[in-house]
Amino acid sequence: MNTLNHLAIIMDGNGRWAKLKGLPRTAGHYKGVEVLRSITIYANSLGIKCLTVYAFSTENWKRSEDEVSYIMSLPKIFFASYIKELMENNVRVMIIGDREKIPSETMRVIDDAIETTKNNTGLILNFAFNYGGRDEIVRAAKAYAKDYADGKKTDLNEESFKEYLYTRDLPEVDLLIRTGSEMRLSNFLLYQLAYSEFVVIDTLWPDFNNGVLDQCIEEYQNRKRNFGGRDETKSH
Ligand code: FPP
């Protein structure tokens, strides 16, 4: 059995799903929010400790103003509808990313949810929101350089560098799922995904459900993880 403590998801395909149905892209994002709610509850019931979802990247600002402002309103829609259920299920909310550029009203709603759920001990629902992997690494390097200059840190290694990443308190990412069939990382968790297993599926995020998650986990369970060591079961 491979342990599954930390699941990360690139929730892609909302726009394509909407287009296929003749709906505006925002309808895909709205359906995506409902799917996220049910997957959060299901992942928690499976005993997964952390679910990190790519909700908005540092590159997503390039989208139309209307779409960006709609995505910025999603936390309000999500938490207004589901905070009670998240509390009942002992889910804790966290966020990773650059908070500075996020509109203050959106940040207020997210911070309220973080505060309300801070003592919950079940699944951590971690939103990557205005998140970019390269940005995270550069920030970490700058913070380390400052601590070095101030004489607070002297030895930089993989373990000490991790303390400067947004994910410092979270377990290693075991599995990354990307919906919507694209085979790329799109600047998501570049440092953290070094030895994670990667499952890409054609299902668009608004069509994702518990059964599809089960199939992804089954595929993950069939993977032989060796973290760069030799796989003794291979003949060559
Ligand atoms: C990618 O699909 C999806 C996003 C950029 C937004 C994802 C956000 C959610 C599913 C909801 C997050 C919830 C909260 C509470 C913030 P796309 O638009 O790139 O789809 P496409 O590739 O088909 O165009």
Q: Which atom of ligand 1 is nearest to the CA of 18?
A: 23
Q: How far is the CA of 95 from the centre of ligand 1 (A)?
A: 16
- DSSP helix/strand/coil, 6: strand
Over pLDDT 90: what percentage of the chain?
92
At residue 205, does pLDDT exceed 70? yes
Measured distance CA(17)–CA(28) in Å, rounded? 6
- The residue whose C-alpha atom lies closest to atom 8 belonging to ligand 1 is 55
Return the domain boundaries, the chain.
Answer: 6-132+172-221
At residue 199, does pLDDT exceed 90? yes
CA angle, 170 then 172 then 90, to 5°: 40
- Angle of helix 25-45 relative to helix 65-88, nearest 10 degrees, comes to 20
Q: How far is the CA of 111 from the centre of ligand 1 (A)?
A: 21
Measured distance CA(44)–CA(122) in Å, rounded? 7
pTM for this predicted structure? 0.96
Q: Ligand 1 pocket by C-beta < 6 Å: which residues?
A: 11-16, 25, 29, 32-33, 36, 55, 60, 71, 74-75, 78, 127, 180, 205
Q: Topology of domain 6-132+172-221, per CATH?
A: Undecaprenyl pyrophosphate synthetase (3.40.1180)
Q: Would you please indicate which residues are annotated as catalytic (active-site) residues?
A: 12, 60
Asked if 14 contacts 29 with a C-beta cutoff of 8 angstroms, the reply is yes
Q: For the segment 128-177, what is each residue's pLDDT rounded down to a tens digit? A: 999 999 999 999 999 999 999 999 988 889 999 999 999 999 999 999 99
Closest by CA to 123, choosing from 52, 74, 35, 173, is 52
Asked if 87 contacts 122 with a C-beta cutoff of 8 angstroms, the reply is no
Tokens coding 39: 């997957």
Q: For the segment 8-57, what is each residue's pLDDT rounded down to a tens digit? A: 999 999 999 999 999 999 999 999 999 999 999 999 999 999 999 999 99
Average pLDDT (66-85) is 97
